Structure 1
Amino acid sequence: MRIGLLGTGPWARLAHAPTLAAHPSLDFVGVWGRRADAAKTLAEEYGVRAYDDVDALLSDVDAVAVALPPDVQAELATRAARAGRHLLLDKPLALSSAEGRGLVEAARESGVASVVFFTARFDSMVSGWIQEQAALDGWFTARAEWLGAVFTSAGSAFAESPWRRERGALWDVGPHALSVLLPVLGDVSAVQAAGHGPGDTVHLVLEHASGASSTVTLSLTAPPAASGSTVELRGEAGVAVLPKGMGDAVAALTNAADALLEAAASGRPHACDAGFALRVTEVLEAAEGVLGAGV
């Protein structure tokens, strides 16, 4: 599969470019970025073409990997889908359900495959754990904490990200927590939220279709020593805790690329396709609405 990369920022350099270049079933064709000099530098590092025009890249590939801010991703991924290109996307899908819905509709109308890179869902150890818990009935409640130190760690590559500064942990690490909870506890039927923590810290209380409830704490301003992620499930089967020590991003993104190849070949949607990511976006938007209303 010929694939191009949209984006030249830290995530593109740390995860996407090395994954695309090393994958045995992908032909890494080239890079487009909003900064032509950055695209040229990244393309030269991997011996591929730097594109000045995104449509020129789309005409040369079968698929695109997108490492751009979510509002930019939504627009360009919709454009790529309408051009018939398969989509390897990042979370969050978009910053509004309307933008996300437009992307999903374009992908469905064009019949292209989509996979959204929720890191935990493509970590081999964690994905196995999620499948095991989803096969069990009787979950009563869950507690999830996704505490990042993006804004408190010296030299963080993502600290100056404008969209993270504006939208905070709810939109950056919230998708990770939801991507673990939803396949186990079911869809979210009601959301409550409070933004009374330090910095961008928010707390959610979710009701799920299964009858279970969950609490979620999210932050990008945790002290570095206190950062990390935890998910604890309690129910008839006892207590289950998310495995510690997730693998590196390149390994997980390689699994996501494998999933895109399989979905494109089989025509069967992946569990983490754009439709699932849209549902995550809708839950985040609902939580943001509660926070904005001061409920």
Structure 2
Amino acid sequence: MLTLLAPAKVNLSLEVLYRRKDGYHELRSIIQSLSLCDRLSFSPSKTVHISSDSQDWQTDLSLVSKAVELFSERCGQNTGVNLKIAKRIPLVSGLGGDSSCAAAVLKGLNKLWGCGYPCWRLMEIGAELGSDVPFFIMGGTAMMEGRGETVTPLPTLTQMWAVLLVPALDMPADKTAALYRNLRPDSFTSGEISDKLLESICQGKLSLSLCFNAFEKVAFELFPELVKYRWQFLEAGAYQISLAGAGPTLFTLLKDKNTAEKIYHNLCQKGHQAYLVSTLGPLD
């Protein structure tokens, strides 16, 4: 049996530069893997069987089944697989769980079926599945550009601690598309924010004040209950709060573990779904 981890992520910066002629948006984003991980177990089989320990997870709505089909087509394999997924990353949370699992599927099948594709080839295949998938092939700290297909590894951050607050909100199935539709001209930026953040990372002193998410303003307008959760996060002791991806998860990033633990426990005492995790380097 082969077992791989599929880590969550947060966008330290997420800039939307403009809408492209092909209908996609040009992005510039610095992404960071987290130690909150799903676990995928692969074993040989004559047929494809996919299961999860989460009752809310549905195979037909996930990129996982699409990843199996696409990889089978690309490598010309008709071999099956028995794939079991232990879900730990909350669904539809903005933490990239589905994209991360899809990337793990590509890496896992590449090993299980002996295809021997290099990382860049898996990233090409991943780009056909979704914007975040190429990043998860690599993981760690990276700059993502284009619509997600261009990923550049960055120096691994000195370990930091993230507190995640997952609001109890019902998100529409087209959440990300709705956020894109509601972007306004003042939502677009030049990429300079990510460049400044990149400079601070390369200097070994991440400046948290540079964290930015183009969706944040729109998300708080579309989902006004987020305001309440942000205030409760502040009351728990956080001082700098960002939106994770397309949300609704909110996060704060800290260098001091004790402070992170206090914020986490304060949130848990109020009955919130919260996680205390650390930043993560690239996975093999």
Tell me whether the two structures share a fold, i.e. TM-score over 0.5.
Answer: no
More helix by share: 1
Normalising by structure 1, what TM-score?
0.26
More strand by share: 2
Normalising by structure 2, what TM-score?
0.27
